[in-house]
């Protein structure tokens, strides 16, 4: 979804008659007659663009009702209507009566409902005029009392159809509360009365022109939805979630903690200390500003971390470090502290984090705009930024890490931890940071290096023993055997090396051969699977893989890749023929000296398995000959057809020999694919830097008759899914993830370690161990996998303990001073796939001793505790259990095995 400034509204407060601030970019929907009355009374000069609404779905009443019942969204079309007559302002008495009807009253002539979209500054002026008018004469305004209205936000999805002046507006239950969805549907959706909307804010013009013109050309053919939040100024109901007064802006000055077990307690008013009586439940949702669910999920988990709540509801300002060059001048801490206070001190159902997001985007541009992001990445940046803003160390001393040199682990660990605390001291370090032991061993000199590093969270892999069925087509390069598909079973979490080993056994690879595996798309090789440690989970079932059998002794020798092309008609070019790729590429190793004759002969050798017999050629030509003769008779022109048939018939008994005119060879520049250079027979050719020569073979029709290349066009997919077939849900315990995390494994070739003994970079083996654990343990489950070409999400169900996560056997520090038992109190969830999806949070409320589901602005109780365990769990938040945990009753069986 393209970024758009249209989704920058938040839930409005109706407490102040002064109107929104000058930098407020919200848009308000009001009765047109209320706006017109204020416009004339206050002399507001603004021009509105009229639109008429029409249903975008079923037109019949019965189908419309059925659609509303079956669908979770409603849609209508706004079309420019310049000839629309604006409704005139009513008399005072009529206005007061009309106000009782709220936004749904008739606002124009002919029974039409008419509204105005106005910017925040204009809305503030109009509201101020109405209030002043009501105070001065007690009448003459549609709005007589500020407390008789309600302001609530509605999130819309707006799309533009190319070449029109119309906008399609969608209202979805997913983006709004059920109550607000019903209100918006009743008010805006065209039904028995037409709906007219005048836009005085300029937002619709912005969507139609500016945003539209900036879209890439290839995206304009389909609707691109843009988020737009508008504030409904409803004069029909008492304020329920809009008028919160100055309570939103209270800066609570507390001399002692007001949080008890995660729940704010009552506070008595004390004029001398500035502490006020305020009750907060912590069950306040966060509005979605447009794909900000990832932020809302992480914030809600942190907002129910009792240590942080205690800290930010206290006098945290004295620890702000504005001069830390690694921090954000304290602005991130101020903004987060203000957001957390409002979540715990306001008494409405939701709050908009618009200011916090703006401040966040200022220091982290990657989170600007309204694209979807990763909740764990946001969490990592936020914790690190808060730490630097609140770092109590003003001048960081220099400390050099010393090698262990065989010293006791306890001594080295304390030394590393002391050096870390000398430079880093904050509430985040006190609460969220632990320490792990890292052991590196050189494979040659056996040098052992031990370091102890801090961590903010643990990123655990998801191990898997589930087998995966994969089909790969193997090509021989000896000119004897044709391509053949092989199906192998490999571990789902395996790597490229595992796949190649299984495939080598399946195709009976000889000791003097090796396999070059590649992915083919659109008759071209798009990548080679040459990295042994690359996980095969990144390969999708719909991909097509090929493997070429090459001599092992030519592992460092250059290869030639032949890509086939032929003339084909194209519908997009009105039947004109052009060169098109076809078939899978063929590969061969190259000798020392390479010229046009070498390339020609190598290609002919690869084509031997595809050669068509002379009888098949004669039969095919006889059929073509008869067809040509029939067409010749029909066209009263038999000369050319008869002559061609006679020639073919006379030569049918001879072996068809490939001629130079049957195909042409062109050298293809790998860096610039559009550049082709014809290869002459005596021309010397040199491979590129990657020792790969890319050659395009342009086939002529007479050459194609001599070979059957159909098998090159029918490569099987990795796995052909069966319709309605359901694969078993893969499950794994959290303890198995921890086992995989501490498992010893070699470093990748791109992550070599500089061995101080060898004085060279070595592919050392690495092992991690937990040494000391923090009070708040954050566990990140690595569901998302990225590579240069693909990305994937693992939907493995991780069975994690809720009441007692026992990490005793994973912690190497045996001092036993702190408990190694943890209790779950929050979960950040991700539903959906890589391309989209939605984030929510499960949070345990200490005050009510029950779980809640935080889904943006919606907060609902969780009936069954076990229901928080889903395959969507992404980030787990645990707090240390103080004291003896042996008496805890747990329902989770500790296992380190994975099942499927």
Band (240; pLDDT cuts 50, 70, 90): very low
Distance CA 71, CA 710 (A): 47
- Distance from first CA to last CA of the chain, Å, rounded? 36
Mean pLDDT of 100-120: 62
Which is more confidently placed, 736 or 181? Answer: 736
Residue carrying structure tokens 């040509």: 628
User: Which 8-state DSSP code applies to residue 318?
Assistant: G
State yes or no: pLDDT of 272 exceeds 70. Answer: no
Distance CA 201, CA 188 (A): 18
Q: How many CB atoms are closer than 10 A to CB 607?
A: 19
Mean pLDDT of 552-573: 81
Backbone φ and ψ for 297, nearest 5 degrees, come out as -65, -50
Mean pLDDT of 290-312: 92
Are 865 and 802 in contact, with CB atoms under 8 Å apart?
A: yes
State yes or no: pLDDT of 672 exceeds 80. Answer: no
Are 552 and 512 in contact, with CB atoms under 8 Å apart?
A: yes
**CATH architecture entry for 467-570+577-612+661-713:** Roll (3.10)
Whole-number CA gyration radius for the chain: 35
Instruction: Please list the alpha-helical segments (H only) found in 635-748.
Output: 639-651, 701-704, 734-742
Which is more confidently placed, 150 or 629? Answer: 150
Q: Are strands 467-476 and 545-551 parallel, antiparallel or unpaired?
A: parallel
Which is more confidently placed, 689 or 201? Answer: 201
Which residues are CB-neighbours of 773 under 8 A, at least 6 positions away?
434, 807, 811, 818, 820, 880
Distance CA 97, CA 89 (A): 13
CA distances from 756 to 144, 624, 752, 763 (A): 81, 75, 13, 13
Strand order through the sheet with 434-441: 448-455, 434-441, 765-772, 745-746
Verdict on whether the full-model pTM lies above 0.85: no
Distance CA 468, CA 485 (A): 16
State yes or no: pLDDT of 434 exceeds 80. Answer: yes
Output the pLDDT for position 87.
Answer: 67
Output the pLDDT for position 884.
Answer: 52
Are 441 and 764 in contact, with CB atoms under 8 Å apart?
A: yes
Distance CA 762, CA 780 (A): 29
What would the two tokens of residue 308 be?
């942080």
Helix and strand element counts for the chain (H, E): 20, 41
Q: For residue 346, list its beta bridge partners.
A: none
Is residue 524 classed as helix, strand or coil in its secondary structure?
strand
Are 369 and 3 in contact, with CB atoms under 8 Å apart?
A: yes
- H-helix or E-strand containing 185? helix 178-188
CA distances from 177 to 229, 534, 734 (A): 13, 44, 34
Output the pLDDT for position 404.
Answer: 76
State yes or no: pLDDT of 133 exceeds 80. Answer: yes
> For the chain, what is the mean pLDDT?
76
Mean pLDDT of 879-900: 51
State yes or no: pLDDT of 777 exceeds 50. Answer: yes
Mean pLDDT of 199-220: 65
Return the closest-CA partner of residue 32 out of 82, 74, 85.
Answer: 85
CA distances from 240 to 14, 97, 347, 348, 680 (A): 11, 22, 10, 8, 83
Output the pLDDT for position 803.
Answer: 93
What would the two tokens of residue 623 be?
């059929």
Give the residue extent of every domain in the chain: 27-136, 467-570+577-612+661-713
Output the pLDDT for position 632.
Answer: 37
Q: How many CB atoms are closer than 10 A to CB 761?
A: 13
Active-site annotation, residues: 293, 838
Are 788 and 538 in contact, with CB atoms under 8 Å apart?
A: no
């Amino acid at each position: 979804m393209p970024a758009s400034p249209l989704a920058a509204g938040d839930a409005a407060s109706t407490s102040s008659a002064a109107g929104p601030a000058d930098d407020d970019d919200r848009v308000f929907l009001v009765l047109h007659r209320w706006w017109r009355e204020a416009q004339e009374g206050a002399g507001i000069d603004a021009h509105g663009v009229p639109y008429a609404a029409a249903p975008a779905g079923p037109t019949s009443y019965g189908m419309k009702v059925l659609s509303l019942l079956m669908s979770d969204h409603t849609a209508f079309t706004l079309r420019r209507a310049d000839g629309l007559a604006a409704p005139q302002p009513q008399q005072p008495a009529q206005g007061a009566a009309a106000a009782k009807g709220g936004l749904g009253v008739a606002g124009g002539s002919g029974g039409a409902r008419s509204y105005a979209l106005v910017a925040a500054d204009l809305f503030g002026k109009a509201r101020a005029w109405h209030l002043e008018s009501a105070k001065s004469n007690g009448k003459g305004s549609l709005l007589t009392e500020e407390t008789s209205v309600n302001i609530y936000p509605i999130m819309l999805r707006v799309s533009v159809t190319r070449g029109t002046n119309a906008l399609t507006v969608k209202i979805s239950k997913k983006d709004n509360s059920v109550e607000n969805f019903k209100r918006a549907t009743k008010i805006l959706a065209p039904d028995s009365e037409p709906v007219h909307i005048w836009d005085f804010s300029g937002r619709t013009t912005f969507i139609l022109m500016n945003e539209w013109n900036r879209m890439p050309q290839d995206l304009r053919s389909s609707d691109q939805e843009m988020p737009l939040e508008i504030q409904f100024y409803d004069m029909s109901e008492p304020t329920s979630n809009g008028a919160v007064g100055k309570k939103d802006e209270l800066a609570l000055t507390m001399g002692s903690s007001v949080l008890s077990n995660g729940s704010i307690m009552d506070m008595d008013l004390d004029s001398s200390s500035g502490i006020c009586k305020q009750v907060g439940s912590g069950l306040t949702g966060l509005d979605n500003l447009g794909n900000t669910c990832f932020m809302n999920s992480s914030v809600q988990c942190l907002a129910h971390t009792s240590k942080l709540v205690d800290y930010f509801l206290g006098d945290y300002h004295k620890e702000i470090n504005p001069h830390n060059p690694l921090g954000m001048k304290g602005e991130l801490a101020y903004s987060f502290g203000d957001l957390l206070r409002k979540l715990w001190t306001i008494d409405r159902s939701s709050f908009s984090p618009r200011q916090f997001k703006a401040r966040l985007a200022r220091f982290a541009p990657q989170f600007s705009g309204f694209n979807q992001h990763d909740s764990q990445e946001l969490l990592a940046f936020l914790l690190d930024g808060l730490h630097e803003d609140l770092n109590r160390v003003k001048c960081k001393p220099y400390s050099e890490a010393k090698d262990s040199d065989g010293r006791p682990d306890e001594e080295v660990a304390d030394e590393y931890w002391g050096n870390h605390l000398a430079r880093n001291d904050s509430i985040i370090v006190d609460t969220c940071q632990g320490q792990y032991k890292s052991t590196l061993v050189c494979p040659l000199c056996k040098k052992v290096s031990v370091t102890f590093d801090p961590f903010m969270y643990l990123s655990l892999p998801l191990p898997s023993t589930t087998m995966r069925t994969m089909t790969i087509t193997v090509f021989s390069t000896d000119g004897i055997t044709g391509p053949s598909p092989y199906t192998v079973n490999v571990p789902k979490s395996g790597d490229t090396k595992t796949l190649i080993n299984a495939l080598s056994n399946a195709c009976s690879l000889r000791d003097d051969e090796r396999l070059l595996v590649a992915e083919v798309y659109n008759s071209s090789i798009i990548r080679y699977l040459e990295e042994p440690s690359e996980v095969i989970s990144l390969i999708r079932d719909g991909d097509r893989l090929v493997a070429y059998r090459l001599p092992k002794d030519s592992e460092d020798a250059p290869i030639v890749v032949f890509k086939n092309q032929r003339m084909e008609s194209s519908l997009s070019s009105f039947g004109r023929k052009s060169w098109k790729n076809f078939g899978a590429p063929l590969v061969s190793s190259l000798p020392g000296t390479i010229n046009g004759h070498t390339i020609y002969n190598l290609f002919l050798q690869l084509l031997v398995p595809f050669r068509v017999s002379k009888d098949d050629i004669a039969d095919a030509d006889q059929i073509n000959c008869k067809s040509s003769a029939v067409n010749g008779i029909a066209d009263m022109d038999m000369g050319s057809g008869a002559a061609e048939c006679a020639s073919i018939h006379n030569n049918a008994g001879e072996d068809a020999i490939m001629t130079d005119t049957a195909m042409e060879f062109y050298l293809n520049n790998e860096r610039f694919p559009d550049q082709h250079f014809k290869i002459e027979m005596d021309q010397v050719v040199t491979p590129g830097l990657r020792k790969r020569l890319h050659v395009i073979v342009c086939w002529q029709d007479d050459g194609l008759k001599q070979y059957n290349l159909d098998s090159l066009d029918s490569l099987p997919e990795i796995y052909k899914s069966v319709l309605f077939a359901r694969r078993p849900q893969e499950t794994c315990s959290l303890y198995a993830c921890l086992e995989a995390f501490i498992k010893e494994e070699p470093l990748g070739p791109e992550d070599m370690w500089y061995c101080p003994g060898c004085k060279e970079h070595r592919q050392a083996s690495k092992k991690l161990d937990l040494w000391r654990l923090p009070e708040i343990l954050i566990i990140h489950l690595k569901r998302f996998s990225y590579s240069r070409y693909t990305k994937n999400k693992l939907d493995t169900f991780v069975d994690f303990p809720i009441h007692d996560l026992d990490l005793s056997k994973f912690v190497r520090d045996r001092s036993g001073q702190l408990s190694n038992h943890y209790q779950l109190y929050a979960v950040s969830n991700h539903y959906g796939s890589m391309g989209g999806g939605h984030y929510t949070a499960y949070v345990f409320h200490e005050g009510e001793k029950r779980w809640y589901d935080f889904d943006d602005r919606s907060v609902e109780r969780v009936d069954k505790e076990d229901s928080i365990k889903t395959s969507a769990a992404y980030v787990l938040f645990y707090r240390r259990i103080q004291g003896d945990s042996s008496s805890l009753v747990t329902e989770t069986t500790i296992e380190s095995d994975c099942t499927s």
